[in-house]
Amino acid sequence: MQELENFKFSNKFAGLPEDFFHRQNWTPFVNPKLIHFNKELGEQLGLPKDLNPQDLVPYINGNKTFKNSDPLSMTYAGHQFGSWVPQLGDGRGILLGQLQTKDGLMDLHIKGAGKTPYSRFGDGRAVLRSTIREYLCGEAMHHLGIPSSRSLIMIGSDEPVFRETTEFGAMMVRVAKTHIRFGHFEYLKHNQKTEFIPILLKHVIDSYFPELPESIDGYTDLFEIIINSTARLIAKWQAFGFAHGVMNTDNMSILGETFDFGPFGFLDDYDPGFICNHSDHGGRYAFNNQPSIGLWNCHALAAALKDHIDIERAKEIINDYQKNFYDELSTIFRKKLGLTTHESDDLSLAEELLSWMQKKKIDYTFAFRNLSKDPSFLYTDQAGKIWYEKYQKRLNKETTSPIERKRIMESTNPKFILRNYLAHEAIKDAEKSNFHKLNNLLEVLKNPFQENSKLEELAKPPPEWGKKLEISCSS
């Protein structure tokens, strides 16, 4: 297809000095097969409306080339579980380039692309299981209104990939505003390449914030944007019950998008100490640690940039992290409770409900969705009743009609969420080439706030076995 071959990549990142990447092609599968194509995202990226996704497969697999792409693997480093790792990089990813879209530049990146100079001991591949999880999560996040990378297309193969068991290899095209991570700057700082830091800062400004000056002031403004968007992103995670799982600095996008999902999980029963990553023995990335880990990561970025930004302002920016986080969190929780006016103890009211839910092991998504529909779950004990009465008193201070309140609440409290057990069931079937459950799950995740009587089953809290699934780091 001529249009695909001539796809207009801008290759801005590939225009940087070679210290930032390794130029290379990737390793095709022998028998690639289409698993899923994201039509809506394809149209947003300017792919032909009548595109047959089968035509895209040879380009993604690497049998045919996009004439205008300058593929490369990126160099970066990062703090993993708090420890400094001086050399990371795309060990299984290839950046195809940037596309100019109506929403700004978008990176296209192949994940699971085979070995690169950064593969270390890895095989360069990704398994179908983790690829489907990332595909599902990108859609779930996006449609909940949480900034996130997404996936354009997923292809599978018969190629065995060895993890805890033998699985199948897959590739996907990840679409994100950028693949520049906190770890890109840390790499330059801690590997005696500091002269490249202003080059990367200029690249980011030029690509995403052209209104900012290329000076210490502009770099500090950029730092402020990064820190604020990180604080607000993590507030959204907390409000929707999302645990990322591997908040290493190399998994933090500088544009505040959810990125590089590992063994992520959405809360089922409300448990603030929830650890979604089975390999995270110390609970560093437990659900309730995410806000402070986000701040820790911002400090790591500040340390990398310290000679290029205004330090006094940077301290204030870091100090404002907490305020930005709570502003965003309060805004969402007010909506979750249907509040349009501000009372100083609104967040405490939400926190009281949460601690009750924790004690009673109540499903997080179910509880908030039912607050405006059928709050009878609160009447199972005295403390629940007392909270509900307090909540009613608070609602008496509101001027919105009950109908309007219900509308606000139902557009903030999703009916459907990407439950671990649902992903697990969809994956088990997809591994046997049955995509029915995957398609149904995608349907509800694309409309998480809408009732869907046909797929009502998918809104149910998990059965007991579904709460106990262990997600390891392997992917």
CA distance 359 to 292: 24
Q: How far is the CB of 76 from Mg ion (least distance, A)?
A: 9
Nearest to 78 by CA among 307, 319, 227, 296: 296
- Name which of Mg ion, ligand AMP, none residue 36 binds, using a CB cut-off of 5 to 8 Å depending on partner kind: none
Q: How far is the CB of 89 from ligand AMP (least distance, A)?
A: 6
Nearer to ligand AMP, 158 or 343 (CB): 158
Binding mask of the shown chain, residues 237 to 276, with x at each position contacting Mg ion by CB under 5 A: --------------x--------x----------------
Is 107 among the residues known to form the active site? no
Q: How far is the CB of 403 from Mg ion (least distance, A)?
A: 45
- Contacts with ligand AMP, residue ranges (CB under 6 A): 88-93, 118-119, 122-125, 246, 251, 260, 262, 475
Nearer to Mg ion, 128 or 252 (CB): 252
Residues 394 and 339: beta-carbon distance below 8 Å:
yes
Residue tagged active-site, from 90, 250, 268, 363: 250
Residue 25 tokens read as 């092609």
- Name which of Mg ion, ligand AMP, none residue 125 binds, using a CB cut-off of 5 to 8 Å depending on partner kind: ligand AMP
- Name which of Mg ion, ligand AMP, none residue 262 binds, using a CB cut-off of 5 to 8 Å depending on partner kind: ligand AMP
- Name which of Mg ion, ligand AMP, none residue 123 binds, using a CB cut-off of 5 to 8 Å depending on partner kind: ligand AMP
CA distance 188 to 312: 22
CA distance 113 to 111: 5
CA distance 175 to 172: 10
Exposure string of 451-466, with b = 16+ CB inside 10 Å and e = fewer, is: ebeeeeebbebbeeeb
Beta strands in 40-127 (DSSP E): 72-74, 78-80, 83-85, 93-101, 104-111, 126-127
State the burial class of residue 439 (Cβ atoms within 10 Å of its Cβ: 0-12, 13-18, 19+).
exposed
- Name which of Mg ion, ligand AMP, none residue 104 binds, using a CB cut-off of 5 to 8 Å depending on partner kind: none
The amino acid sitting at 281 is: H
Size, binding site for Mg ion by CB under 5 A? 2
Nearer to ligand AMP, 61 or 220 (CB): 61
Binding site for Mg ion (CB under 5 A): 251, 260
> Active-site positions?
250
